[in-house]
A = this chain, B = another copy of it.
Amino acid sequence: MASVILFLTVTGLFFGLVSAGVADNQIDTFGKQSDGSCDLPDTLLKEIQGYQPIVKKIVDKIVNGEYAGRTWDSLAELVDTFGARVAGSEQLEKTIDYVIDKMQADGLENVHTENASVPHWVRGYESAELVKPFRKNLPLLGLGSSIGTPRGGIIAEVLAVESFKEFETIPAEQVQGKIVVFSPAWESYGRTVVYRSQAASVASRKGAVAALVRSITPFSIGSPHTGQQHYQDDVKKIPVACITVEDAQMLLRKYRRGDKMEIHLEMEDRPMEPVVSRNTIGELVGTTFTNTSVVVVSGHLDSWDVGVGAMDDGGGAVISWKALTYLKAMGLRPRRTIRAILWTGEEEGLYGGAAYKDAHKTQEQKEFNFFFESDIGTFEPRGLDFVGNADAECIFREIVKLMAPLNATEFETPTDGGPDISHWTSRGFPGASLLNKNEKYFWFHHSAGDTMAVEDPKNLDKCVALWAAAAYVVADLSVSMPKDVMP
């Protein structure tokens, strides 16, 4: 809750600093009252409510009409044709070329790519085996940026702990030369993922030769999960991988019983020089504001190198592209431009978004009106997760109510609005993330389970309908979304 309070305070400080020079219709301050209620001008309220028939029409066409099922088919064709799309891979660049062709065939406008430098890390042969006291294969996935082992691997004794706190109590001389297994209990992704990102650095400081981490998931069927990790600047780099929940728990139990264990770990993973990838962009150009006040809808096209990234984030990328395809096909062109951006290099640290932010920095106040991002699943939609100032919130609350035909009127706030768009939303631009019934998201996340089997055609239809409808309304409204942008 500390970060929530901080955010509202910062927003308050900058309230009223609506930037000059925006070639769009701005409105006077109204926003939230001291009692938390909104005081929207009656004309604006009526205007928003007036979009209900258009929203209904969009939903009808996409969920029940001629576009029903097409989004799943498009996503399936994409992931079946190219498979995983990790940053630095030929498959990602081929996918980008394919999407560009398809966007053009769909009639999207200003279809193009913009370069972004992304990390390049290559998974090689990976193997972990418990060799004492009995032999057992330990399925594993090296973590993004991890170095490999020497050829032939290393064999070392195991030291297992449940937490960093427990590890702190262990003298360095007991850790020296060991493989450290971290088997933390699952709390939430946000609270547990620190073990994935920091285990190597924490273990290395006490002389460990490698770190193995319980996969960051609440549920497992023997699958390891990958993800990015970061070496702190001043530590010796050691190999790091996630093993399965089941094996991590087993190793911890054995260690606590006093069993002496050795693991043979071999990883040919290797970090390479960064490469140039591309963000993939297509538009539905607005009738009135063609180069300003753009409404961005986005997801990332890159994935990890296991599974096929149908969920993370093929679904988010494809609904962002297809929302424009269907609006165009329906002849619905709003006043402002809607721009689909399919980010690259998200998984390694939001590189596509960062490059795009830098390239568009000078004009950003004028250029951007609102940012949508879908990167936490495209299961059955629940509503939208808003970030922005109090005035924008009051408007957006009314827009979310229009999603009643999808039974997706839940409004949540504030969040960071999604990882890639946080380059803007963290500085005061308004944005929203797709709320959906993603309770099982981390079951599949960054694992071989991230495939089309996770995606449901009807749910994808509903997600793209919500995406198209919400973006259309924001882009067509008589006023631009209020914002208080920090430099």
Contact = CB atoms under 8 A, between A and B. Distances in A.
Interface of A: 76-77, 79-84, 91, 133-136, 139, 220-223, 244-247, 249-250, 253-254, 257, 259, 306-308, 443-444, 447-453
Contacts of A80: 250, 253-254, 257, 259
A45 B247 CA distance: 50
Given A249-B453, A452-B250, A453-B245, A447 B222 contact: yes
A221 B254 contact: no
B139 A448 contact: yes
A134 B82 contact: yes
Contacts of A451: 222, 246-247, 249-250
29 contacts: A80-B250, A80-B253, A80-B257, A81-B133, A81-B259, A83-B136, A84-B136, A220-B453, A221-B221, A221-B223, A221-B443, A222-B223, A222-B447, A222-B448, A222-B450, A222-B451, A223-B223, A223-B449, A244-B448, A246-B452, A246-B453, A247-B451, A249-B451, A249-B452, A249-B453, A250-B308, A250-B451, A250-B452, A253-B452
Contacts of A79: 250
A38 to B, nearest CB: 43
Contacts of A249: 451-453
Contacts of A253: 76, 80, 452
A245 B451 CA distance: 10
Contacts of A245: 453
Contacts of A134: 81-83, 91
A202 to B, nearest CB: 25
Nearest to A84: B136
A94 B139 CA distance: 24
A107 B452 CA distance: 54
A137 to B, nearest CB: 8
A126 B448 CA distance: 17
A249 B453 CA distance: 8
A84 to B, nearest CB: 7
